[in-house]
Amino acid sequence: MSTGGHALRRNPFRSTAVADTALIGRDPNGVETNVDTAAQQRVLAPLRAYLAGEDGHRGNGTTIVVSGDYGTGKTHLLVRMVDEALAAIGEPGRALYVVAGEDGFLALFRNFLKAVTKDELVRQVSQYYADAVQAELAANDVPHAGLAGRADTSEVEREYDVLSSVVNRRVHENLARVTDNADFTTALSLLMRDKRLADPVWEWLNGAEPPVALRNRRVQHRIDNDLAALDALGVLALVLGGRDQKFVLAVDEMSDIFARSDTPRERLMEAFRVLLETAKRSGACFILCGLPDLMESLSPKVRERVGVHVELGGFTENDIIEFILRSHERTFGERRFAPFAEHAQRTIRDFTRGNPRQVVRLLHRAFALAGAGHPDAGPTELPEITHDVLYQAASLLTPPTFDTVVDEIRMVAAQHGWPIRQEQTLALDPHAWAEFRVESGHRDGDFAVLVARSLLSDTEIRRFVDWVAAVRGTEENRPIALVTVGTPSNSALVAVRQVLHAEPIVRRTTFQADLTAALSAGPVPVHPGQGALAHVSRTLDEIKAMLATGAHGRELNPRAIAQEIAAYLAPARPEPRADELPDPVADLFTLAEDRLSALLAIEPRVRAAFDRGGYDSAAAFRSRFFEPAARQAIGAAAVMGVFLHGFRVRLARWFHESGDDHALAAICETYQAMEDWVPLSDLAPLAAVVDAPVPAIGASTAVEQAIGTLTGFAAKVRDAALDAASERA
């Protein structure tokens, strides 16, 4: 019997599986289904311990780092943590969620201000004023029970007959205990004392020039760079977490924040270390969230300030079962696994690798597919969601990858018992190559299965046609099947039909059946022009088509056509060797390459690490060479070596071609532009990690020599090349 059709069969799984930060403070558990994975419990434990602590906790702040890949539930977890904090603290504005932003810490600070709001900051700062008045009244034995929550300074001063100057002094003293930054003490005092100054002080916090009231009190600087923003963030964290109050700040998308800054890394890391120390000293809880490399991007001194680091992973099979049970209970009021088949959790985890976002999306699509043909079935009457349904749902959701397609080709061959060999070169021609050779039992031999990653652009299509021609040239009647990873363009379909007289096999829900049918069919007869000289025949066909159609707007230039045919038929010109340079020019390159190579000589260190053996040995190597600055420097040196080699090869060709001065200038400008992309200053950190190539000169000197050799290298090469060319003439 139907239980009510669509109204009662609401899909219990969300289609997007993306966290909604707007739910903060609005009971997200009423909308979201959560599963307490082991990793989440490790993150929640220190937060709950912090929230359960007694007030008067100054010095007991902490920093929690949560990392994980895309879709592992990081933002969902942050939303949950902020909600728990708001519920425990019971005061708005003392638990905030902020996104780091795309412009470094300055953007982070401005997002922080948006989350705090001007009115909330004024209210929080006014509490320092209330403390000062209470202290003054208590010192004079004046009752002040009705003072709590009063923020109008002039009204309180009149009512309690307190001198403004005395209170202001106490406020200044209280704020000075929070921060030794006189600019912020002055600004926050003004923010509290005069409501008319709230707007200009707020604008100053957001990066504007100091208002007159601040300039008159010697506040001159703007908050317009990352270092100033970190300083300001620390001060406001102290203010909000001061007075022995709990304060939780959750910052999302932190991974690239250091790379996005223009501030030198060392100064930025030191300022960030101070911020985390400030959080601990003030009793605040910072939660930093980012991708798996977040902790690696921090300096060792910053990592020492992290209290807890947890990396989120995928759902286990038990997590998937629990998620399905909870989702059904929330939607239908009953904890049940049906309509999912027994052991479906194993298939779900295999298809998604446990990624929570992919799990939820797959569950949503599979549930929808199961009910697609049964509009009147209730939630307990749906057909069983089997492996095949999950496979179909995954096919609709997951963008195909090369590895996915290759795995499915192997699967089809295995299902039919067809011997299969991967990465087969079919002849001496390196282009006559197939991803697979499949022995499907045809009289004409093995199928060559070609796998094209993409068939969209004209270049890709032409490369594919030449590829087929090369394979055809190895055996005239060789059967060929083309599999495309992505969806081919219409022009690609036309090209495939012309050369294969068959459709490409596109990765979709019917992929396995389509591939089976293609490999089971007989080979298509080869028509003239599909062999080794197919490219010449094809060019002539294109010319005939142009003549017949007026070239479709393309200029019909006989000389250009002749050159195109000549290019196909002419033997390839041998490429000059990179060492075919006049000695003075070659010496410049040799010196530069030797000095650069010396900076990359880390192999002895690798051998030494293996000789010593063990985790500690590897950790010592990593601590030396895998600091972000060192990795960047090693990468810069390696890329510079590639630039040098390319420069040398192209210059050898210039000499071989007897090029003119303009061509030489263009070559040198190309190298100079590439060098500008990787500044030589990026090599400087190598002085701290590499071994000196010549012990007598030291690593620092070796780095300086390399930088000196490469400085102005393009100009040196140009002058030497011109001199050598003139001598040859």
Q: What is the pLDDT of residue 251?
A: 94
Which residue is associated with the tokens 């510079």?
A: 640
With a cut of 70, say whether residue 464 has pLDDT above it: yes
Q: What is the pLDDT of residue 26?
A: 64
Mean pLDDT confidence for 363-376: 82
Q: Which of 154-158, 560-564, 700-704 has the lowest mean pLDDT?
A: 560-564
With a cut of 50, say whether residue 404 has pLDDT above it: yes
Establish whether the linkage from the previous residue to 264 is cis, with ω within 30° of 0: no
Q: What share of the chain is helix, strand, coil (3-state, %, to 5)?
A: 60, 10, 35
- By CB neighbour count within 10 A (0-12 exposed, 13-18 middle, 19+ buried), where does 597 fall? middle
* pLDDT tens figures, 12-21: 888 767 766 7
* pLDDT tens figures, 529-542: 444 444 444 444 44
- For residue 689, give both structure tokens: 């990690």
Which residue is associated with the tokens 């990396």?
A: 311
Which stretches within 90-197 are classed as H helix? Answer: 104-116, 118-139, 153-160, 164-178, 182-193
Q: Which of 235, 95, 249 is nearest to 177 (CA)?
A: 235
CA dihedral 328, 332, 336, 338 (to 10 degrees): -90
Q: Are 345 and 317 in contact (CB under 8 A)?
A: yes
The more confidently predicted of residues 567 and 553 is: 567
Q: What is the pLDDT of residue 337?
A: 93
The more confidently predicted of residues 261 and 179 is: 261
Q: Using 50, 70 and 90 to split pLDDT, how confident is the model at 1?
A: very low
Q: Using 50, 70 and 90 to split pLDDT, how confident is the model at 43?
A: very high
Q: Using 50, 70 and 90 to split pLDDT, how confident is the model at 324?
A: very high
Q: If you count them, how many residues does the chain have?
A: 729
With a cut of 60, say whether residue 549 has pLDDT above it: no
Distance CA(326)–CA(318), nearest Å, equals: 12
With a cut of 60, say whether residue 3 has pLDDT above it: no
Q: Using 50, 70 and 90 to split pLDDT, how confident is the model at 27?
A: low
- End-to-end alpha-carbon separation of the chain, Å? 98
Q: Which of 25-34, 211-220, 431-440, 556-565 has the lowest mean pLDDT?
A: 556-565
Distance CA(66)–CA(205), nearest Å, equals: 29
Q: Using 50, 70 and 90 to split pLDDT, how confident is the model at 301?
A: very high
Number of Cβ within 10 Å of residue 239's Cβ equals 23
Q: Which of 111, 124, 122, 275 is nearest to 202 (CA)?
A: 122
Q: Write the CA distances from 204 to 275, 363, 710, integer angstroms.
A: 20, 49, 45
317's enclosing H/E stretch is: helix 317-332
Mean of the per-residue pLDDT values of the chain: 75
Q: Which residues pair with 251 in a beta bridge?
A: 98, 288
Q: Are 432 and 471 in contact (CB under 8 A)?
A: yes
195's enclosing H/E stretch is: none
Distance CA(369)–CA(394), nearest Å, equals: 11
SS3 573: coil
HSE of 679, CA atoms in CB hemisphere, 13 A: 4
Mean pLDDT confidence for 231-244: 78
Mean pLDDT confidence for 194-217: 84
Q: What is the pLDDT of residue 489?
A: 63
Q: Which residues pair with 481 in a beta bridge?
A: 449
The more confidently predicted of residues 210 and 560 is: 210
With a cut of 90, say whether residue 321 has pLDDT above it: yes
SS3 370: helix
Distance CA(448)–CA(635), nearest Å, equals: 40
Residue 2 DSSP code: -
With a cut of 60, say whether residue 144 has pLDDT above it: no
SS3 708: helix
Do the strands 62-68 and 284-290 form a parallel or antiparallel pair, or are they unpaired?
parallel
* pLDDT tens figures, 628-674: 667 777 888 888 888 888 889 888 888 877 667 778 888 888 888 77
Q: How many helices (H) and strands (E) does the chain have?
A: 29, 10
Q: What is the pLDDT of residue 664?
A: 86
With a cut of 60, say whether residue 426 has pLDDT above it: yes
Q: Which of 529, 449, 459 is nearest to 489 (CA)?
A: 459
Number of Cβ within 10 Å of residue 648's Cβ equals 23
Q: What is the pLDDT of residue 323?
A: 94
